[in-house]
């Protein structure tokens, strides 16, 4: 039961922090909320006993990507943006669609899973795949590696390709090959900044 409580708690945190990532006006806060959402989702993975995946999640997303994000956000000259005008315009329609989907989910999901057996109410049960046989014979890294390098070999290669593409693409987009337009430090501009024109925490 306590596991369920934890699950609900982390899911709540996850949803709230993702919403706050979108809605917060200060982009540094957004990144921090993003970190929070990563952490909570990896905790949910912990609860599902996928320790390896959740640890990887934390190391890569929080340790590398989110920090990189923070770094970039601090480097860039971003103004505070006001979201109120636009969001008011789109709020009725967007919330209508959102609520419709929510109701749909609430109608469909419980009706599918209700009254099967009491154990099933816990979100941990998944009797279609025998995770015990699949995973607990090996350590988790072993089983993941086993799956990746045998059954899902081609998918593994494909994701490798995607990663390669994801490195080539940004480089192509930002690489400027002529010397004239290279960004240089403008000392005067840097010195004349005041608190009014920048973001700060």
Which positions lie near another protein, rule CB under 8 A?
Answer: 104-105, 107-109, 111-113, 115-116, 120, 126, 128-129, 150-155, 157-159, 161-162, 164-166, 168-169, 172-173, 176-177
Q: Which residue has the tokens 């540094």?
A: 28
What is the nearest approach in angstroms of another protein to the Cβ of residue 200?
Answer: 27
Q: Which is nearer to another protein, 167 or 197 (CB)?
A: 167
- Whether 179 and 58 have beta carbons less than 8 Å apart is answered as no
What is the nearest approach in angstroms of another protein to the Cβ of residue 32?
Answer: 22
**In 3D, which of 176, 131, 143, 155 has the Cα closest to residue 52?**
143
Q: Which is nearer to another protein, 122 or 197 (CB)?
A: 122
- Whether 113 and 128 have beta carbons less than 8 Å apart is answered as no
Q: Which is nearer to another protein, 171 or 191 (CB)?
A: 171
What is the nearest approach in angstroms of another protein to the Cβ of residue 154?
Answer: 5
Q: Which is nearer to another protein, 18 or 26 (CB)?
A: 18
Q: Residue 38 and residue 21: Cα distance in Å, rounded?
A: 11
Start-to-end C-alpha separation, the chain: 39
- Whether 170 and 68 have beta carbons less than 8 Å apart is answered as no
What is the nearest approach in angstroms of another protein to the Cβ of residue 47?
Answer: 16
Surface-to-core class of residue 37, CB atoms within 10 Å of its CB (0-12 exposed, 13-18 middle, 19+ buried) = buried
What is the nearest approach in angstroms of another protein to the Cβ of residue 165?
Answer: 5
Q: Which is nearer to another protein, 71 or 113 (CB)?
A: 113
């Amino acid at each position: 039961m306590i596991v369920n409580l934890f699950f609900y708690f982390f899911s709540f945190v996850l949803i709230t922090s993702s919403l706050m990532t979108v809605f917060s006006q200060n982009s540094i806060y957004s990144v921090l909320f993003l970190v929070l959402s990563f952490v909570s989702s990896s905790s949910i993975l912990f609860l599902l006993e996928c320790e390896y995946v959740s640890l990887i999640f934390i190391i890569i997303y929080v340790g590398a990507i989110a920090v990189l994000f923070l770094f970039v956000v601090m480097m860039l000259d971003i103004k505070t943006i006001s979201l109120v005008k636009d969001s008011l315009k789109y709020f009725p329609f967007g919330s209508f669609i959102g609520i419709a989907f929510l109701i749909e989910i609430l109608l469909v999901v419980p009706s599918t899973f209700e009254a099967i057996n009491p154990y099933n109410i816990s979100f941990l049960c998944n009797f279609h795949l025998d995770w015990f046989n699949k995973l607990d014979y090996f350590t988790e890294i072993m089983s993941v590696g086993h799956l990746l390098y045998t059954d899902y070999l081609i998918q593994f290669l494909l994701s490798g390709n995607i990663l390669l593409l994801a490195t080539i693409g940004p480089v192509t987009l930002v690489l400027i090959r002529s010397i004239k337009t290279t960004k240089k430090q403008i000392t005067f501009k840097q010195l004349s900044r005041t608190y009014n024109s920048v973001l700060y925490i």
